[in-house]
Amino acid sequence: MTDKYTAAEWAAMEGGHDITPAESKFSFLQELHESRMTKDNGNSQKLTYTDCGERMYLTLLALETMRQFPDFKSYVERYAKKTSGFETFKYYRIMGTDLYNFIYFLVGDAGAQAKLKDPEAAALLKQKTNLPTADINRYIRSLANGTEPTSVSSMFLRIESAINVTNADYKAVRRAVMDWAKQNRQDKRLIATRLIFAVRAKLRSSDIIEDFEKWAAIKNMETASVVDPEPTVSVPDINTRRENLSLYRYLVGDKNLALTKKFLDQTKNGNAASSNMLAAYKPAVELLDDIVQAGPAYVQQLRALHNRAKKGR
């Protein structure tokens, strides 16, 4: 199977001519000011701590996948250079990449988590997270310098463990990308399509999407045989602290409290819950169902109460 488009054909599709330096500069400014997920205009308040971890992981997977193609290494090198240089991730950088800022939100001081959707839950998750920043820095420096990174598989495994990646599709993509040279063309397209769906769903407005979409089109890596499994919603930082659980007993009762905590933990990790956990949480479901059965006026009151609760947090 040959590549779908050449680089020249892609340039023609973008306007029928080669991109001039002035146009390239304008494109960069557009990317910087219009397509950033983490620019400082309240965008970060749409992201949870869990969202930042997931999007960092997917960005690194996208870079590692594009790196397998010699004619796209320059794209990867350019992005890595824009990410490197601020290796402690102590400060928010409006001129940094989304990848840099995702890591900042994950490992920065309390001010970093305060910028996110649920600062309290983010701060608690940060205390439990041991992101391998030294490994990530070495990897990014290698990409920026155009050299072959080492211990890549180990780095991704440590990231998965640190941010608790439970998505089976993402793990399958990671395993295949780590063994890319041994995959046949059909398998490469299948696994690439899974990653394309994930990037489109979770990194649609990021600063890597344009290069990644070019890679997918030029290399003809997307196949119609894969069904898109990706939700586009934010993943909440479910908080099961003791004081929150003590309030849950008003919804589920004292006897169901322990199993309710397990149910919430399983839900947070994307794992299946047992029947006894579901039974413990059933009173909360019944409460919601009673409101729905009562009619739209009661549902609207619940939505209004929910909005007040979110603002109150």
> Looking at residue 87, what is its pLDDT?
60
Closest CA to 131 of 190, 73, 53: 53
Question: What is the reported pTM?
Answer: 0.65
pLDDT of residue 34: 38
Contacts of 13 (CB under 8 A, 6+ apart): 5
Cβ proximity of 149 and 64 under 8 Å: no
pLDDT tens string, the chain, 313 residues long: the values are: 444 444 444 443 333 444 444 444 444 444 443 337 777 656 778 899 999 999 999 999 999 999 999 999 999 999 999 998 666 788 888 888 999 999 999 999 889 999 998 899 999 999 999 999 999 999 999 999 999 999 999 999 999 999 999 899 899 999 999 999 999 999 999 999 999 999 998 998 899 998 999 999 899 998 876 666 565 556 666 565 655 666 776 777 777 777 777 777 777 666 666 777 778 778 888 888 888 888 878 888 888 887 787 776 6
Structure tokens belonging to residue 103: 């890591």
pLDDT at res. 269: 63
pLDDT given at position 37 = 73
Burial class for 158, CB neighbours closer than 10 Å (0-12, 13-18, 19+): middle
Measured CA distances, 99 to 57, 267, 292, 298 (Å): 9, 27, 41, 42
